[in-house]
Amino acid sequence: MLEFFKKKQVGPSKTVSEKRIKDFQEIYNSFSNDQSIDQASRCSQCGIPYCQIHCPLNNNIPDWLKYIAEDRLEEAYEISSSTNAFPEVCGRVCPQDRLCEGNCVVEKAGFGSITIGSLEKHITETAWEKGWIKPIVSSKKQNQKVAIIGSGPAGLAAATYLIEYGYDVEVFEKNDRIGGLMIYGIPNFKLDKSVVIRRHEWLKESGVIFHTNCEVGKDITFDDLEKNFDAILISTGVYKARSLDLNTKKVNNSVPALDYLIESNRVGLGDTPSSNLNLNAKNKKVIVIGGGDTAMDCVRTAVRQKASDVICLYRRNKENMPGSAREVENAEQEGVNFKWLSVPSEIIQQNDIASSLVYKIAELGEVDESGRRSPVDTDIKETLNSDLIIEALGFQPENINEKFNTNLNLTGWGTIKVDFNKFQTSNPKVFAAGDIVRGASLVVWAIHDGREVAKTIQHYLENKKIKKAS
């Protein structure tokens, strides 16, 4: 260990931009075993590991790095998977520059962080290859049933732990495929769909029952779930798009980011393209509005769909973007043009079609509640021609009580109100986790919530059994 003095930080090789924009393949290749040993041995085994402190899952990173460096990958996998239900997903999609790697002591000392995310991916991909990942067989049978509504990362992580604890688990998913945003939101070039499908198959083999095309409130009532299950977990995520507040009439070619990404992912999975041609960027001048990871997913998808021009408009500057710096760099390499400090002010349209977007140049003002400097409009206006506007302005929750015909306490933002220590809602039998509780957030936080809510559901169900027996 402590080799960071001698060995340089080397990430996994990346397909060159000219080649990678021709398809939707993942752009990062995997480490060879020798490379992984080399890179893991750079870790200084800190007494206070800031990498671990800043990992939402509190992964025991120093220990698994040590095992990799000693070529003891099976042990590394045991440790890594003890806190993370889907390490191969986090290794691919976490914004490591803001989490574990951004806080690595070696990074702070100016030597380049330990490449934690890529090593985490390497451990788990090796575990799959070598057959170390077996279907879960629980040592006990609880004879209690849990219904999970939604099959995104929070729901699937909870299912993983609950099946391990011995419960019967059924997942109700309104879409035709399992995975939530991991299957329909995140593009293939960041997370290959086979990675998500493999976990779905593994959970099925472990005994989780999946009901697809089954929307609670439509195809099955929430009441039915309450009658037939001992506990219910709501992990539906947040899908309602925030829209541009420009007092415009209907604009057919200004579309929400998620509609656009879902269509692209569906086509990639072999579905028939939708008849809505505004969901394809081919040969179009595209403007994506927003500065988060979803905006980066959109611009990079548009490049791969062979848009004639892709511009990202963001109201703050590069340093104050909420998304991962690595994703911005990838987008720049792929030919995306960024217009920083640009605030949309008007859509010029004829009939229902936008022909251009007017935006105001902003200056940076004071730091706002997000901790970033807020944009202040100037009166300088610019205009951009556009055939397609994609709005990546964040998500908000749908009204769960209306959808499910329930009466759960909600927060002022419309998310489900829970006791954060237990993820329990105002109905003690009903739990909620992931974005529907915390608002739109990272996959790794959803996995965290799935892990934690599984523990509290177990506690609740054990108490229920004890009460019944006494």
Rounded to the nearest whole angstrom, what is the least distance from the CB of residue 14 to ligand SF4 in the complex? 17
Closer of 43 and 146 to ligand SF4 (Cβ): 43
Rounded to the nearest whole angstrom, what is the least distance from the CB of residue 10 to ligand SF4 in the complex? 15
Tokens standing for 218?
Answer: 């439509």
Tokens standing for 202?
Answer: 């593994």
Number of shown-chain residues binding ligand SF4 (CB under 6 A)? 28
In the list 50, 111, 128, 132, the residue contacting ligand SF4 (rule: CB under 6 A) is 50
Residue 154 interacting with ligand SF4 (CB under 6 A): no
Query: Cα angle vertex 346, ends 371, 325, to 5°?
Result: 35
Burial 343-378 (b: 16+ CB within 10 A, else e): bbeebebeeeebebbebbbbebeeeeeeebbebebe
Residues whose CB falls within 8 Å of the CB of residue 287, separated by 6 or more in sequence, listed in order = 311, 312, 313, 357, 384, 386, 388, 389, 390
Rounded to the nearest whole angstrom, what is the least distance from the CB of residue 24 to ligand SF4 in the complex? 22
* Closest among 391, 441, 394, 439 to 413, alpha carbons compared: 439
* Closest among 175, 234, 279 to 423, alpha carbons compared: 234
Question: With CB under 6 A as the contact rule, which of the stretches 48-56, 135-143, 392-400, 408-416 interacts with ligand SF4?
Answer: 48-56
Identify the residue whose tokens are 């090796």. 126
Rounded to the nearest whole angstrom, what is the least distance from the CB of residue 54 to ligand SF4 in the complex? 7
Rounded to the nearest whole angstrom, what is the least distance from the CB of residue 42 to ligand SF4 in the complex? 7
Residues 64-93 that bind ligand SF4 (CB under 6 A): 65, 84, 90-91
CA distance 144 to 122: 36
Closer of 62 and 375 to ligand SF4 (Cβ): 62
- Give the burial class of 300: count Cβ atoms within 10 A of its Cβ; 0-12 exposed, 13-18 middle, 19 or more buried: buried
Rounded to the nearest whole angstrom, what is the least distance from the CB of residue 104 to ligand SF4 in the complex? 3
CA distance 440 to 434: 8
Closer of 49 and 434 to ligand SF4 (Cβ): 49
> How are beta strands 285-289 and 395-396 bridged, if at all?
unpaired
Closer of 59 and 278 to ligand SF4 (Cβ): 59
CA distance 432 to 427: 10
CA distance 470 to 464: 10
Rounded to the nearest whole angstrom, what is the least distance from the CB of residue 157 to ligand SF4 in the complex? 12
- Give the burial class of 85: count Cβ atoms within 10 A of its Cβ; 0-12 exposed, 13-18 middle, 19 or more buried: buried
In the list 21, 61, 208, 310, the residue contacting ligand SF4 (rule: CB under 6 A) is 61
- Taking residues 7 to 46 in sequence order and writing x for each that binds ligand SF4 by CB under 6 A, - otherwise, the string is ------------------------------------xxxx
Closer of 149 and 442 to ligand SF4 (Cβ): 442
Closer of 120 and 387 to ligand SF4 (Cβ): 120
CA distance 260 to 302: 9
Closer of 66 and 304 to ligand SF4 (Cβ): 66
Closer of 62 and 344 to ligand SF4 (Cβ): 62
CA distance 341 to 312: 11
Rounded to the nearest whole angstrom, what is the least distance from the CB of residue 454 to ligand SF4 in the complex? 17
Rounded to the nearest whole angstrom, what is the least distance from the CB of residue 164 to ligand SF4 in the complex? 19
In the list 12, 26, 62, 162, the residue contacting ligand SF4 (rule: CB under 6 A) is 62
Rounded to the nearest whole angstrom, what is the least distance from the CB of residue 194 to ligand SF4 in the complex? 20
Closer of 90 and 430 to ligand SF4 (Cβ): 90
Helix 73-83, helix 61-69: angle, nearest 10? 170
In the list 354, 444, 446, 457, the residue contacting ligand SF4 (rule: CB under 6 A) is 444
Closer of 118 and 415 to ligand SF4 (Cβ): 118
Count CA atoms within 13 Å of residue 355 on its CB side. Answer: 4
Residue 204: count of CB within 10 angstroms of its CB = 14
- Taking residues 94 to 133 in sequence order and writing x for each that binds ligand SF4 by CB under 6 A, - otherwise, the string is x-x--xx---xxx-------x-xx--x-------------
Closer of 12 and 117 to ligand SF4 (Cβ): 117
Rounded to the nearest whole angstrom, what is the least distance from the CB of residue 5 to ligand SF4 in the complex? 12
CA distance 125 to 108: 29
Longest dimension (CA), the chain: 74
- Footprint on this chain of ligand SF4 (rule: CB under 6 A): 43-46, 49-51, 55, 57, 59, 61-62, 65, 84, 90-91, 94, 96, 99-100, 104-106, 114, 116-117, 120, 444
